[in-house]
Structure 1
Amino acid sequence: MTLSLPSFKNKTVRTLLTATAIAMLLQTAAVPAAGIASAAPAADIKVTSASSTAIYKSFQTKLYKKNGLPEADRYLESKIKQVTPYHATLMVMQLENARYKALTAIEDRMLVPNVQDQMLKIYKWNDSFTQMMSRTKDSALRSLLQQARDSGYRLIPIEGSLYPIMNYAAFEKYTSYVNKDIKQYIRIMAVETNHISTEDGGLMIGYQDMLNRALNQEQFLNDYPNSNRKQKIQMLLNEYTLYTFYGLDNTPLFDYDTNIMDANAQKGYKAVLQRSSSKDSAFLKKLDAFMDVVSESKFEKTEAVEKWLEENVPVNEYSNYE
């Protein structure tokens, strides 16, 4: 069975770009207080429930103003040591939600043809918004680039166009103050946005890296089954499961002509299975069983392999259809 689904193509990038992004599960009205005591405020700052609540309300006022993301971020950075772990976690997740919500508007402004033309003329590989700002004399474009940077986005090229995406590295300054699950969530998402896994239907990372990311996602779900960001990570793991067992349109796991499994995938899968043989992982157990089946078929995609895939990794079960 060849995975060739328009809605599957480039799913990870689309997940990172889309403003809905599972609607982020909330407007973060309730976050469990349990398990966040480890993110204690600085010892030399007296934090009370009343003072923390006052900062939280002030943050919300700034966050929900028009174009308020940069101000809200600066305010949160200056005040996060003065709030309870509960409010710190709440505000960081609300900041993430607001950035997702505002992303579509920034993206639409950047994808206007004449704006894209201007950007592409001055863009150099791996440029940041700051680097591009220094290279343009157009005040309107400079203002747009600055707003995107200060609102918490970074720039990536996708299929010949330049897109803003979430910059999860910008959240790392808050990880010492938030719930453990949100700290780990930010780290997982920073890996995704710092090094995009797919582009134009092709895999952009190595096979071992792909599996290690999936294992980190699985570990998150095991460690934090009640996390507010559980659904987001589950969607990510679903995508990586399909990448692992089917490949992508332009990086198929089995060659379209010979039906033979990619040699680098064989080596990468075997290496990870050997290195992680003692790890208790449902994902690895499934991968190990898969490798047994394809080994018996001499790494050819036979009917037996296709049947195993249909029974154990059905595409419709792992596709994040909207």
Structure 2
Amino acid sequence: MSEFEELVRSEAKAEEIAGFVSQHIAGLSEADASQLVNGLEEMQQKELPLMESAYFENAIQEKIHSAYSAIVAGNEPQDPELKALLARTKNSGYKLETAEGVYFPIIDYSFYNKYRDYVAPDLKAYIDIMAVESDQVPAKDAALVITWDEVVERALKQEEFINTYTDSSKTAAVRDLYEKYVLFTLYGLNNTPLFDYNSKTIKPDAREAYSKAIAGTGNSEYLKMLREYMDVLNNNGYKLTDDVIAYRDNIVQSVK
């Protein structure tokens, strides 16, 4: 562990730390392995702004745009500078993402799957939750890109983590994520609103997903909130009325 701590003190890049973790994690205790993985994530978070800035230098945006189809298909770009940047991105545990016509890196939590068997249970669960997020981000361009069913499923997994691992160092991060999903559940997003802008009626696919979720036997706080929300909606003809607005605003305040 002293070698790893020296790497961190020397401000080694995420790529170097990821290589160290991959090389040494199998021979470590669960506690030490968890420390390495936590250290890697901290370095990735710290280094992410620098990695992002590299995507806005030397016409990189234009180069990615021209080669994007090939990159998504798993082919290496021919441009040497872009090829090197994408290799550094991958080796550092990031992945290429795009939104609103812009290309940028995000932490690739599926990169951590090779470490999950060595770390503590809370960190395994955290990796699973975050890998779902990075494999398919929930929203782009102010619109949901996952289904309402998936919104509910992810929120329930996050809530389960919060309740199971109350003392985990990752609980605060998962709670922040959960609060975002509560907002998705109650409001949707600007370009995927829960209620139709014209009729003020809940979207049929959302109503179907929520009705299916509350029909089960689960009794979590999230499902309790969703059942109450659907009761209020039922009493208001499934329309966005003042009563519905007041209820959901109160819910948002209660989960913060």
TM-score range with shorter-chain normalisation? over 0.9
State the 1:307 CA deviation.
2.0
> For 1:63-212, what aligned pairs fall within 5 Å after superposition?
63-65=8-10, 68-112=13-57, 114-124=59-69, 127=72, 131=74, 134-136=76-78, 138-212=79-153
Corresponding residue SS for 1:214: helix
- Which is helix-richer, 1 or 2? 2
State the 1:148 CA deviation.
1.0
Q: Is residue 300 of structure 1 aligned with residue 239 of structure 2?
A: yes
Q: Is residue 290 of structure 1 aligned with residue 232 of structure 2?
A: no
> 2:249: which partner in 1?
310
Identity of aligned residues (%): 30
> 2:199: which partner in 1?
258
Corresponding residue SS for 1:124: helix
Corresponding residue SS for 2:219: coil
Letter in 2 for 1:135: P
Deviations 1:217-253 (Å, cap 9, x if unpaired)? 0000000001101110010000000010111111111
Deviations 1:172-209 (Å, cap 9, x if unpaired)? 11111111001000000000000110011101001111
Aligned length: 256
Are residues 251 and 231 of structure 1, via their aligned partners in 2, closer, same or farther at CA, if it must alter by over 3 Å?
same
Computed over aligned residues only, the root mean square deviation of the Cα atoms, in angstroms, reads 1.8
Give the whole-Å Cα distance in 1 for the aligned partners of 2:84 and 2:138: 30
| Contact persistence 2:188–2:194 (CA under 8 A) | yes
Give the whole-Å Cα distance in 2 for the aligned partners of 1:66 and 1:237: 32
Are residues 254 and 234 of structure 1, via their aligned partners in 2, closer, same or farther at CA, if it must alter by over 3 Å?
same
| Contact persistence 2:13–2:43 (CA under 8 A) | no
Corresponding residue SS for 1:156: strand
Give the whole-Å Cα distance in 1 for the aligned partners of 2:241 and 2:62: 48
Give the whole-Å Cα distance in 1 for the aligned partners of 2:163 and 2:98: 34
Are residues 76 and 312 of structure 1, via their aligned partners in 2, closer, same or farther at CA, if it must alter by over 3 Å?
closer
Corresponding residue SS for 1:189: helix
State the 1:93 CA deviation.
0.3
Give the whole-Å Cα distance in 2 for the aligned partners of 1:252 and 1:294: 15
| Contact persistence 1:211–1:272 (CA under 8 A) | yes
Corresponding residue SS for 1:155: strand
Corresponding residue SS for 1:183: helix
Give the whole-Å Cα distance in 2 for the aligned partners of 1:169 and 1:63: 22
Give the whole-Å Cα distance in 1 for the aligned partners of 2:37 and 2:9: 14
Letter in 2 for 1:194: D
> For 1:40-51, what aligned pairs fall within 5 Å after superposition?
none
State the 1:140 CA deviation.
2.2
State the 1:126 CA deviation.
7.0
Q: Is residue 213 of structure 1 aligned with residue 154 of structure 2?
A: yes
Structure 2 residue runs without a partner (length 5+): none
| Contact persistence 2:187–2:193 (CA under 8 A) | yes
> 2:3: which partner in 1?
58
Higher relative contact order (CA 8 A, sep 6+): 1
Deviations 1:89-127 (Å, cap 9, x if unpaired)? 111000010011111111111023611011111111771
State the 1:57 CA deviation.
1.5
State the 1:67 CA deviation.
5.2
Corresponding residue SS for 2:250: helix
State the 1:71 CA deviation.
2.8
With normalisation by structure 1, the TM-score equals: 0.75
